[in-house]
Amino acid sequence: MQILNYLKQSRRLVLLIVLLLIWEFSSRFILDKTESILLPPPSGVAVGGFELMQSGEIWKHILDSLSREFFAFCYASIAIPIGIVMGCFKSVNEQVDPLIEILRPIPPIAWIPLSILWFGVGNTQNHFIIFLGIFFPILLNTIDAVKNVEPNLIRAARCLGAGSWGVITRVILRAALPQIVTGIRIGLGVGWMALVAAELVGANSGLGFLINDARTVLRTDYILVGMLAIGVIGLSLDRAIRFTAQKLMPWSRALNA
Amino acid sequence: MHALKVEHLRKLYPSMQAKGQEVLAIENVSLEVNKNEFCSILGHSGCGKTTLLNLIAGFEVPTSGRIECAGKEVNGPGADRSMVFQDYALFPWLTVYDNIAFGLKVKGTTSKEMNEIVNRFAALVGLSQFIHHYPHQLSGGMRQRVSIARALVVDPTVLLMDEPFAALDAQNRALMQAEMIRILNEESKTVVLVTHSIEEAINLSDVIVVMTRRPGKVKKIIRVPEPRKMVEDTPPYLAIRRQIRDLIAGEHDDSEGR
């Protein structure tokens, strides 16, 4: 039974394995020497990854990237109280909304030139770019979540004696939480992309720096390892948040769908 | 003193269809509910009976007229008029226990006292076994029991119920009506119930207020001869049912004229 299950599961990997084999084959036997430097075979990438892990270099870059993402997230979480205030009070929303509508469509990457002039190359500039990536998805989702709280829940709280503050802390905040978490997930994803872009041009460490640095010495295997790491970490970050949120909010239909 | 007194209530809404126009939802509604009396407001859907309940709850402000609850004028929602909603409106992130305890937590009741009260009301509605469940793990009837307990816990002067059993299937509805009678026997309460079911009104009420259609006015106030003891299909039951049915049938559907 168990074996049958594993077989069924592994059936999903067939195409992936075939593609990897074709890649391995063509890189080794079809491409000539210079071309295969540009596209090393999967086995070569694996060896490169092993080297990077053994030398400890990749861990340092991963750690730097993750800590940048983390700090930027801490700054960007200011979007949650701002979003709640904007969702609850029309007058605030009226004033702040135009500002956000203007700033929001500017991709974080477009801020890179200006931010380098402002902050120079380094962590502050990186944090700033990632912050922009994380901030807006959280803000917009928080506003939306607060506006869409079931009106009867607010009424129920009011007729059980809750005042405005009680309604905000006991109802709106809780009811909006699943969608705020969704905002955080999207934000961290966008932030992670912005992070790599920021590190490509404005950092001396991190995964973005790693792949750009490898380019200058033509280590395509390191580039691919770096790209893979960026993808895997982005995915695990998302999964980890979703998993935690599901555990903390088993009642949410949106999260457990 | 009356538990609830409604005087010449009138409510105008801005029209959704035509800009600048207004719709008269209810007009000149006056009624009085005595302490521990069960009052049903009966009418077609769209007759403004839910508007009336929302006005009493303080969720909406009347255009004119006044509402008094235990001699105090109503302005805004309060725990003296807690409500049971048709869609239950339970807090999905709270367990049954915490849902029932909500009103007490807001009030700042000590945890020992709270524990005792919540357990008593959970037992009253027959949910002692399910105190640590979340609402999404419960059936519709059980959710409505939680909602009733949650509203009773704050010891309201008037308990408001907005078509509380309309979302349930026929068996569950009959069961919940019987349960409601049992609960009220143990825990005397003044209740205002909004319903479109004639049978439900007869089974539960001391007084039935029949409303007219658009704008909602009080058509007739009927006293049930033997409140909560009426036996279905007996002559007095059939008589009162026919009387109400005729009153309501007189309010024919004119929804084209909206």
CA within 13 Å, CB half, A87: 24
Q: How far apart are CA B75 and CA B73, in angstroms?
A: 6
List chain A residues with CB under 8 Å of B134: 250-251
Nearest C-alpha neighbor of B211 from the set B68, B21, B9, B29: B29
Q: How far is CA A257 from CA A146, A240, A253, B26, in A?
A: 20, 16, 6, 42
Q: How many CB pairs under 8 A join A and B?
A: 74
Stretch (H or E) spanning B235: helix B235-249
List chain A residues with CB under 8 Å of B107: 161
Q: How far apart are CA A83 and CA A89, in angstroms?
A: 10
Q: Are strands B4-14 and B72-73 parallel, antiparallel or unpaired?
A: unpaired
Greatest Cα pair distance in chain A? 78
Closest residue to B134, CB basis, from A175, A177, A250: A250
Under-50 pLDDT residues of chain A: none
Q: Which residue of B has its CA nearest to A166?
A: B106
Q: Which residue of B has its CA nearest to A250?
A: B93
Q: How far apart are CA A90 and CA A101, in angstroms?
A: 16
Complex ipTM value:
0.87
For residue A231, give the DSSP letter: H
User: Could you tell me the two tokens for B129?
Assistant: 């076994």
CATH number assigned to the domain with residue range B4-77+189-257, chosen from the 4 options 3.40.50.170, 2.60.15.10, 3.40.50.300, 3.40.190.10: 3.40.50.300
List chain A residues with CB under 8 Å of B159: none
Q: What's the pLDDT score for residue B257?
A: 40
Under-50 pLDDT residues of chain B: 255-258
Q: How far is A154 from chain B (nearest CA, A)?
A: 9
Q: What's the pLDDT score for residue B251?
A: 65
Q: What's the pLDDT score for residue B253?
A: 53
Contact of A159 with B81, CB cutoff 8 Å:
yes
Q: What's the pLDDT score for residue A140?
A: 93
User: Could you tell me the two tokens for B126?
Assistant: 């027959």
Q: Are B91 and A171 within 8 A, CB to CB?
A: yes
CB atoms within 10 A of CB B110: 9
CATH architecture of the domain A53-256 equals Orthogonal Bundle (1.10)
Q: Are B106 and A177 within 8 A, CB to CB?
A: no
Q: Are A155 and B59 within 8 A, CB to CB?
A: yes
Q: Are A159 and B58 within 8 A, CB to CB?
A: yes
Stretch (H or E) spanning B67: strand B64-69
Q: What's the pLDDT score for residue A1?
A: 67
